[in-house]
Amino acid sequence: MSTPTTATLLPSSGTLLDEHDVLLLDLDGVVYVGADAVPHAPAALRRAVEAGHRLGFITNNASRPPETVAAHLRDLTVPAADEDVVNSAQAAADHLALRFPAGSPILLVGTTGLRVALEQVGLRPTEDRHEAVAVVQGFSPDLGWRQLAEATHAVRSGLPWVATNLDATVPTPGGPAPGNGLLVDLVARAAGRAPDVVCGKPERALFDAAVQRLGAERAVVVGDRLDTDLQGARTAGLRGLLVLTGVTGVRELLAAQPHERPTYVGQDLRSLEDAHPEVVVELADGTATASCRRARVSAGPSGLDVRAEETGPDGLDVLRAATAAVWGVRDAGTPWGAEVVTAAVTVVEGALRTSA
């Protein structure tokens, strides 16, 4: 006998633009990668603005000030005002400004964006750990050994330590590269302790600030990372759209834990203009079977069985069904070994290539 269950991926009654008033967008891997726009992203965002939606850009990247980010977006023909950009450097600076009086020297381990954020709240960036009252660390592609060593000495001395974010990687045109989280981890391992505070995603501070700034009533978070964008959406009580233009691929999506799962999945930002289909899951005898329109996937201890008469208008119905089936069987406690996951990824990626 089968038992119906609720898929984590949810349907939309209309398009995502119909159902939401504000789009809270990650940048790297969603809108652009490096200097270049993600294909279709600028046009999709222009159409959203023309339809009356507001855009907020929330990023963990603390290397550039909001004005520079907004100018980059405008160069890519994305509608963006300076105040639409909210980053983790601002959140870190705000946190420190609440704790220390104006003019306090803060050891800066980062670059221009973090320096500007500190100065805007009245704090004084310094490179001298002997005068600093706290340490703040954000991503910089030019961060070197001497800066990391200075940070380590300051942290070991007991100074409060704030990290803008813990992203393990950043997207680049050549693929993922080391991010701030790995650099923070170097200091943590050398100093023997973790940061006292992390201000970026998946913490909800950035999302709350963006919702308040934009006056959002029905915001949707759009991101490419499960552990920051989508986990942050859940933390903030918002729905989240995962786009497959950045870090997260099929393997990562199938392995997603409940606290980081998206509400919707799309190829790219054009999926904001789609009505997302219902996915129905049934559990029976240790196997989960999920149906998404005319795609049907069963997942169990022996692997995946995929039957797809059609892959859907955007080619993702097999992925949606497989995702829901794998999540369902794993959540039910059915053994799901690494070799089965690998086989599942192969099957789903093959179906996606066939539908492309």
pLDDT in tens, 183-242: 999 999 999 999 999 998 998 888 988 898 899 999 999 999 999 999 999 999 999 999
Which sequence spans correspond to the domains of the chain? 16-60+202-272, 88-198, 277-355
CA nearest to 160, candidates 99, 201, 94, 113: 99
Phi-psi region of 48 (alpha: psi -120 to 50; beta: other; left: phi over 0): alpha
Distance CA 222, CA 264 (A): 9
Percent of the chain surpassing pLDDT 70: 96
Distance CA 103, CA 281 (A): 57
Mean pLDDT over 173-181 rounds to: 89
Tracing tokens 């405008």 back to the chain, one arrives at 74
Q: What is the pLDDT of residue 349?
A: 82
Distance CA 91, CA 242 (A): 24
- Confidence band, pLDDT 50/70/90 cuts, at residue 3: very low
The CATH superfamily assigned to 16-60+202-272 is HAD superfamily/HAD-like (3.40.50.1000)
Q: What is the pLDDT of residue 2?
A: 44
Count Cβ atoms below 10 Å from residue 128 Cβ, excluding itself. 10
Query: Of these residues, 18, 21, 26, 84, which one is catalytic?
Result: 26
Percent of the chain surpassing pLDDT 90: 74
Distance CA 154, CA 161 (A): 9
On the question of pLDDT at 337 being above 70, the answer is no
> Under DSSP, is residue 75 helix (H, G, I), strand (E, B) or coil?
helix
Distance CA 49, CA 51 (A): 5
Q: What is the pLDDT of residue 356?
A: 61
Strand-strand pairing, 287-292 and 295-300? antiparallel
On the question of pLDDT at 28 being above 80, the answer is yes
331 catalytic residue (yes or no): no
Distance CA 75, CA 158 (A): 43
Query: Of these residues, 18, 28, 82, 94, which one is catalytic?
Result: 28
242-294 pLDDT, tens digit per residue, is 999 999 999 999 999 999 999 999 999 999 999 999 999 999 988 999 999 99
| Lowest-confidence segment of 24-38, 70-84, 228-242, 323-337 by average pLDDT | 323-337
Q: What is the pLDDT of residue 339?
A: 67
CA nearest to 334, candidates 285, 280, 279, 281: 285
Per the CB < 8 A criterion, the answer to whether 126 and 106 are in contact is yes
Distance CA 139, CA 147 (A): 12
User: 16-60+202-272 and 88-198: same fold?
Assistant: yes
- Confidence band, pLDDT 50/70/90 cuts, at residue 5: very low
| Lowest-confidence segment of 87-91, 125-129, 147-151 by average pLDDT | 87-91
CATH code, residues 88-198: 3.40.50.1000
Mean pLDDT over 162-189 rounds to: 91
| Lowest-confidence segment of 1-5, 31-35, 111-115, 210-214 by average pLDDT | 1-5
Average pLDDT, the chain: 91
Phi/psi of residue 58, nearest 5 degrees:
-115, 120
Q: What is the pLDDT of residue 321?
A: 94
On the question of pLDDT at 92 being above 80, the answer is yes
Provide the β-strand partners of residue 124: 105
Q: What is the pLDDT of residue 286?
A: 85
Residue with more model confidence, 69 or 339: 69
The structure's pTM equals 0.84
227 catalytic residue (yes or no): no
Distance CA 292, CA 263 (A): 15
> Under DSSP, is residue 138 helix (H, G, I), strand (E, B) or coil?
coil
